[in-house]
Structure 1
Amino acid sequence: MALQRTYLDWNATAPLSEVARLAMVEAFSLPGNASSVHSEGRAARAAVEKARRQVAALVGAESAHVTFTSGATEASNHVLTPDYRMGRAPVMVSRLYASAIEHPAIREGGRFAPEQVTEVPVTPAGIVDLAALETLLANHDPASGLPMVAVMLVNNETGIIQPVAEAAVLAHKYRGLMVVDAVQAAGRIALDINALDADFLIISSHKIAGPKGIGALISRGEVLMPKPLIRGGGQEKGHRSGTENFHAIIGFGAAAEVMSEQLESRNARIGAFRDGLEQAMLQAAPDVIIHGAAGPRVANTSFFTLPGLKAETGQIAFDLEGIALSAGSACSSGKVGQSHVLTAMGLSSEVGGLRISLGPETTQADIEKAISAFGKIAGRRKLPGRAA
């Protein structure tokens, strides 16, 4: 008899929602190219624009300012560039200031050269150090070009909510641009690009139960825009050429609309599950370290370290118990290594973390299974003074 699986890795990817799936199935009946002017093309264009409005509504933006991409990584590489245009006039961005806990898609610097990227430290609590950021910006040479600041809204490993609006105030004080990776925030906390004072937001469909392979770069306006990463036929108003990933866009829009609804009640339910899980973990293993527990976190994420248990060993052990979770983030083609987030928080390179992330379909039975598995795995650890 096959082991019944329990999926607790929603931060890596959310299972495709039925609403998104049905929207995509319906879209398969539309044969036209959204760039064509005949009736079939206009029908396809109308469907794309509806999805654009749905995605924009999720983040409080204007639909005209949503550019669809192949995902958050492409959106990051699009926006992270020294080359901007204000109308037709070129504008130079000379340095990227990115927090030490950013996703690799941001940490790699996009189209900036490595020597143009400066890391902004975080506190031991895993929150971007605003004082350090201001010092870096105060020392920025404005004659070389504008500064760009990149701070994620919710960390993908710890779930900690970052002070993005405060970072944006500093970025704009020094005439810079503010880029916000909102991938893990979308659908989990209320989003408003204007309230965040962000110039650009990045979101991803498959994190909100939409299809994989589609995301968006969302701007607050279009006066100052990055040089296109992909050029060609001029789709997406020239910001991102190439025939639109039509069916994925439709699914993305449907998922975005669902995730905009009932946010508070969904978070209350998921948060109660997460808190109950963590309480049981602490009872089973009082030495467990729950990273970020004392700070502001999204309701669905628990990132923890069990002393004496390597992250990769723990991930395999949970998998054998029928539970899918992550050792850190799932962004490196299945690789399990040291968490750069924990390192940035000042923890030893020997410390590894396991991440449980919940979703709207998580049940009490899932939590009970995770608690049972945690107890077994914690009891098998090799701790100092304990016989193997």
Structure 2
Amino acid sequence: MRRIYFDHSATTPVHPEVAEAMYRFLTGDNFGNPSSIHYFGLQARKAVTEAREKVAQAIGASPSEIVFTSGGTEADNMAIHGAAVANRKRGNHVITSAVEHHAVLDAVKNLGKQGFEITILPVDEYGMVRVEDVEKAITDKTTLITIMHANNEVGTIMPVAEIGKLARERGIVFHVDAVQSFGKIPVNVDELGADLLSVSGHKIYGPKGVGALYVRKGTPWRQTLVFGGGQERRRRAGTENVPGIVGLGKAAELALANMEEENRKLTALRDRLIEGVLNRFEDVILTGHPEKRLPNHASFCFKYIEGESLLLSLDMKGIAVSSGSACTSGSLEPSYVLLAMGIPYELAHGSLRVTMGKDNTEEDVDYFLEVMGPVVERIRAISPLTGKTGEPSLGTAVAR
């Protein structure tokens, strides 16, 4: 069976050059602990230092401002709790948006349980935060704003630079979750105005289980989550995951070198797929911003269809896609991101996310469109969301 992977926002395959770089630190004489001062430890320490330089270069930072983590979720939590606690004497108000990843939303809500005031901003129909809403939400107690660079479910790119400028003018720490944008579009901490920024390895053809947090020099921030050692300049305890860090460094290096070429290719594939879906099918809408979206990202809502049925049917045809975020795909509830965008409950159930990668081709897109036709027709024919006349059975939809 032909198999096509269209779920690169969930994870990516490890690049062969990344795997090769990592393998060197799983075998031979490169297994040392970076904290050891003998030959074996120094080899590992050198590799971690080189990886730190590569990640820093990819975001326009200084190597000393990079803290390696176990992934984007830990980086988000470290950023949010560290900034909130360090600035608590100045204020206890935190601002975020309704469409953030759970790693951010749940971390902010946890601060709310600790006595912090939190504001969760609405978004427009494209899933975009309004800069004016951020400005209106700021009070004299606001010490942290955390907004994602690009949304994982609908691909919308946020006006982060404008928000960063606003935060800088008011002396507010600004955290950016760049897990989805890092390595796909330009990410520069100075241009974005970011004081804290989170990235992950497995979204850019690197390994799972490794990420990084950028902490701008001079930013009020405190280590609050992982204690037990002096690693990462006492900012994150624990023996460094040397193979993973090496892989992240190599993946960042490759992403930076190939970004322009990859973006041209992926944008063309994305637009080909979006045009094909909107022209071939009735009762479907494009979700996310029509222009300000990630180059590899297409997302839709199909009327009268359950997204899970569509996903499973496509999987049986050899096509891997998603019905939203991989972190919430096990839920029977529709995406909170889509609901926040004002998409009706019954329509949000029919979501589909198609995210392409460097190995995908025009033939893959055309095969997807070819397969989608009979799949959509079959599911709609038996769907409880439509009546015999093809009209929506709203009672059924609401009951769910």
Looking at structure 2, the residues matched to 279 and 132 of structure 1 have their Cα atoms a distance apart, in angstroms, of 32
Looking at structure 2, the residues matched to 317 and 340 of structure 1 have their Cα atoms a distance apart, in angstroms, of 24
- Residue 201 of structure 2 aligns to which amino acid in structure 1? S
State the 1:293 CA deviation: 4.7
Structure 1's unaligned 5+ residue stretches are none
Looking at structure 2, the residues matched to 194 and 387 of structure 1 have their Cα atoms a distance apart, in angstroms, of 52
After TM superposition, list the pairs within 5 Å mapping 1:236-251 onto structure 2. Answer: 236-251=232-247
Task: Give the corresponding residue for 1:134.
Answer: 135
Q: Secondary structure at the match of 1:269?
A: helix
Does the Cα contact within 8 Å between 1:323 and 1:370 map onto a contact in 2? Answer: yes
Deviations 1:262-291 (A, max 9, x none): 312211111111111111112220332011
Looking at structure 2, the residues matched to 319 and 101 of structure 1 have their Cα atoms a distance apart, in angstroms, of 27
- Residue 21 of structure 1 aligns to which amino acid in structure 2? A
Looking at structure 2, the residues matched to 95 and 173 of structure 1 have their Cα atoms a distance apart, in angstroms, of 17
- Residue 120 of structure 1 aligns to which amino acid in structure 2? L
Looking at structure 2, the residues matched to 18 and 160 of structure 1 have their Cα atoms a distance apart, in angstroms, of 30
- Residue 164 of structure 1 aligns to which amino acid in structure 2? V
After TM superposition, list the pairs within 5 Å mapping 1:5-44 onto structure 2. Answer: 5-28=3-26, 29=28, 30-44=30-44
Looking at structure 2, the residues matched to 354 and 226 of structure 1 have their Cα atoms a distance apart, in angstroms, of 39
- Residue 45 of structure 2 aligns to which amino acid in structure 1? R
After TM superposition, list the pairs within 5 Å mapping 1:217-228 onto structure 2. Answer: 217-228=213-224
Does the Cα contact within 8 Å between 1:109 and 1:117 map onto a contact in 2? Answer: no
Task: Give the corresponding residue for 1:104.
Answer: 102
State the 1:171 CA deviation: 2.0
State the 1:351 CA deviation: 2.1
**Aligned: 1:376 with 2:378:** no
Task: Give the corresponding residue for 2:72.
Answer: 72
Looking at structure 2, the residues matched to 293 and 72 of structure 1 have their Cα atoms a distance apart, in angstroms, of 24
Structure 1 length as normaliser, TM-score?
A: 0.92
Task: Give the corresponding residue for 2:398.
Answer: none
Looking at structure 1, the residues matched to 107 and 134 of structure 2 have their Cα atoms a distance apart, in angstroms, of 17
Q: Secondary structure at the match of 1:27?
A: coil
Looking at structure 2, the residues matched to 232 and 328 of structure 1 have their Cα atoms a distance apart, in angstroms, of 37
Task: Give the corresponding residue for 1:304.
Answer: 300
Relative to structure 1, the CA distance from residue 91 to residue 221 in structure 2 (aligned partners, 3 Å threshold; closer, same or farther) is: farther
Does the Cα contact within 8 Å between 2:273 and 2:365 map onto a contact in 1? Answer: yes
Deviations 1:140-164 (A, max 9, x none): 243xxx4211111111011111000
Task: Give the corresponding residue for 1:386.
Answer: 390
Looking at structure 2, the residues matched to 17 and 129 of structure 1 have their Cα atoms a distance apart, in angstroms, of 37
Deviations 1:32-61 (A, max 9, x none): 110011121111100001011111111111
- Residue 353 of structure 2 aligns to which amino acid in structure 1? R
Task: Give the corresponding residue for 1:262.
Answer: 258
State the 1:228 CA deviation: 3.2
Q: Secondary structure at the match of 2:286?
A: strand
State the 1:222 CA deviation: 4.1
Task: Give the corresponding residue for 1:290.
Answer: 286
Does the Cα contact within 8 Å between 1:125 and 1:345 map onto a contact in 2? Answer: yes
Deviations 1:123-145 (A, max 9, x none): 122210221211110xx243xxx
Task: Give the corresponding residue for 2:333.
Answer: 337
Task: Give the corresponding residue for 1:83.
Answer: 85
- Residue 97 of structure 2 aligns to which amino acid in structure 1? S
- Residue 359 of structure 2 aligns to which amino acid in structure 1? E
Q: 1:350 aligns with which of 343, 346, 351?
A: 346
Q: Secondary structure at the match of 1:305?
A: strand
Does the Cα contact within 8 Å between 2:223 and 2:236 map onto a contact in 1? Answer: no
Task: Give the corresponding residue for 2:57.
Answer: 57
Deviations 1:308-330 (A, max 9, x none): 11111111111111111111110
Looking at structure 2, the residues matched to 387 and 153 of structure 1 have their Cα atoms a distance apart, in angstroms, of 38
State the 1:174 CA deviation: 2.9
Looking at structure 1, the residues matched to 302 and 286 of structure 2 have their Cα atoms a distance apart, in angstroms, of 9
Looking at structure 1, the residues matched to 357 and 332 of structure 2 have their Cα atoms a distance apart, in angstroms, of 23
Moved over 4 A (4+): 90-93
- Residue 276 of structure 1 aligns to which amino acid in structure 2? R
Structure 2 length as normaliser, TM-score?
A: 0.90
State the 1:333 CA deviation: 6.8
Deviations 1:85-121 (A, max 9, x none): 7xxxx85551221111100100112551346321011
- Residue 357 of structure 2 aligns to which amino acid in structure 1? G
- Residue 123 of structure 2 aligns to which amino acid in structure 1? V
Q: 1:314 aligns with which of 310, 313, 319?
A: 310
Q: Secondary structure at the match of 1:260?
A: helix
Identity of aligned residues (%): 36
Q: Secondary structure at the match of 2:165?
A: helix
Structure 2's unaligned 5+ residue stretches are 393-400
Q: Secondary structure at the match of 1:356?
A: strand
State the 1:212 CA deviation: 0.2
Q: Secondary structure at the match of 2:192?
A: coil
Looking at structure 2, the residues matched to 70 and 337 of structure 1 have their Cα atoms a distance apart, in angstroms, of 29
Does the Cα contact within 8 Å between 2:54 and 2:252 map onto a contact in 1? Answer: yes
State the 1:292 CA deviation: 2.4
Looking at structure 2, the residues matched to 126 and 10 of structure 1 have their Cα atoms a distance apart, in angstroms, of 20
Does the Cα contact within 8 Å between 1:187 and 1:208 map onto a contact in 2? Answer: yes
- Residue 84 of structure 1 aligns to which amino acid in structure 2? A
State the 1:31 CA deviation: 2.3
